[in-house]
């Protein structure tokens, strides 16, 4: 059971400002049923340019509802410029803190606010589109979104990023890329961050290399693919060429090529040797079209 603060419980059980503002000036919708939480924020501006009313509707757990409730309380009476400065940390702090794995609920609040303000400014009634390149395909999280939570919350590893914005929490194949974004944002602070993995060995015998490749695929790659009903098979190793085949869901996935280079090859280079490169077994690609695992 989660250890929620009294503030969280209060805002969950007695949420403030539930519903939708009539004739709103701004509407922000983020999340989806598939993601497990979603928030619709509506606000109305007064003559003085301040938010006179804000309401929310939320699908999600207790902390998602509490975060939404607090968001509406925080922005009421603020000008849009002031409201823009509200961060997910403000929401979490107001609640007396959230469990680490629930921080993404506070981030959803801030995203909805951004979307609503953008809707007011551009007049666009389109559902809020996040800017930039999508890094986490499972939850549709962009590079800029990840960079933002890293900066605002001083995050140092992929695990934290997952807790704050869900990125990397599905198949996990984007974790390497998330680490790179953290390094970019945090600079030298995390360059040498401890990663829980065995150190790469210098000179490898062929036997040792084969063992390490197998071990890396078993421990670093397969669990991520398995989580999404896919699988990978090590077919052969020819000098530095590692031949693999994707199975199950992965064999029909358009992300497979990306996964192969970005995940499989990256992991093998990280754990085994920089000289390795990965190729997909060609026969199995045809076989997979028949949809048989």
Partner 1 sequence: MDTVYFDNNATSMVAPEVFEAMKPFFCDNYGNASSMHSFGGKVAKVVTNAREQVANLLGCDASEIIFTSGGTESDNAAILGTLASVPDRRKIITTRVEHPAVLEVCRSREGRGYVLVEIGVDKKGRLDMEQLEKEINDDTAIVSVMYANNETGTIFPVEEIAEMAAAKGVAFHTDAVQAVGKLDINLSKSAIRMLSLSGHKLHAQKGIGILYIKKGTRLTPFMRGGHQEGGKRAGTENVPAIVGLGKACELAAENMEKENTYVRGLRDSLEKGILETCPDSFVNGDIENRLVNTTNISFEFIEGEAILLMLDRFGICASSGSACTSGSLEPSHVLRAMGVPFTAAHGSIRFSLSRYNTQKEVDFVIDKIPPVINRLRELSPFVTK
The residues binding partner 1 (CB under 8 A) are 2, 12-13, 15, 18, 29, 33-34, 36-40, 57-62, 64-65, 99, 101-102, 139, 162, 166, 169-170, 214, 217-218, 222-223, 226-227, 234
Annotated active-site residue in 105, 138, 250, 253: 105
Strands 230-238 and 141-142: unpaired
- What three-state secondary structure class fits 202? coil
Active site residue 105: yes
37/192 with CB nearer partner 1: 37
Cα gap 178→130, rounded to integer Å = 17
Is 174 an annotated catalytic residue? no
CA separation for the pair 185, 189 (Å, rounded): 9
Catalytic pick among 35, 136, 171, 174:
35
Measured CA to CA in angstroms, residue 281 lies from 122, 193, 233 at distances of 49, 35, 10
Q: 232 or 276, CB closer to partner 1?
A: 232
Give dist(CA 90, CA 99) in Å, integer: 15
Of the pair 101, 284, the CB lying nearest partner 1 is at: 101
In the complex, least distance from residue 117 CB atom to partner 1, rounded to whole angstroms: 18
Distance CA 207, CA 214 (A): 11
Cβ closest to partner 1, residue 64 vs residue 149? 64
* Burial of 153 (C-beta count, 10 Å sphere; 0-12/13-18/19+): buried
- Residues labelled catalytic: 35, 105
């Amino acid at each position: 059971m989660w250890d929620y603060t009294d503030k969280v419980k209060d805002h969950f059980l007695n949420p403030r400002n539930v519903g939708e503002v009539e004739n709103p000036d701004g509407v922000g919708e983020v999340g989806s049923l598939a993601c497990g939480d979603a928030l619709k924020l509506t606000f109305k501006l007064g003559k003085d340019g301040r938010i006179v009313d804000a309401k929310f509707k939320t699908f999600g757990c207790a902390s998602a509802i509490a975060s939404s409730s607090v968001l509406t309380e925080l922005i009421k009476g603020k000008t849009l410029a002031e409201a823009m400065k509200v961060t997910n940390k403000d929401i979490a702090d107001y609640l007396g803190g959230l469990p680490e794995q629930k921080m993404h609920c506070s981030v959803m609040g801030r995203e909805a606010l951004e979307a609503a303000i953008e809707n007011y400014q551009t007049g666009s009634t389109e559902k809020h589109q996040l800017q930039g390149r999508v890094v986490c395909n499972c939850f549709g999280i962009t590079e800029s979104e990840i960079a933002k939570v890293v900066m605002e919350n001083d995050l140092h590893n992929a695990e934290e990023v997952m807790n704050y914005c869900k990125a990397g929490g599905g198949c996990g194949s984007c974790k390497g890329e998330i680490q790179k974004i953290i390094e970019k944002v945090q600079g030298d602070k995390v360059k040498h961050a401890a990663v829980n993995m065995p150190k790469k060995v210098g000179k490898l015998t062929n036997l040792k290399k084969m063992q390490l490749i197998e071990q890396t695929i078993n421990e670093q790659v397969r669990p991520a693919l398995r989580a999404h009903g896919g699988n990978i098979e090590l077919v052969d190793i020819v000098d530095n060429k590692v031949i693999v085949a994707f199975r199950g869901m992965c064999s029909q996935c358009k992300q497979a090529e990306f996964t192969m280079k970005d995940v499989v090859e990256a992991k093998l280079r990280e754990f085994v040797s920089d000289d390795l490169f990965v190729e997909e077994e060609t026969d199995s690609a045809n076989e997979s079209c028949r949809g048989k695992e």
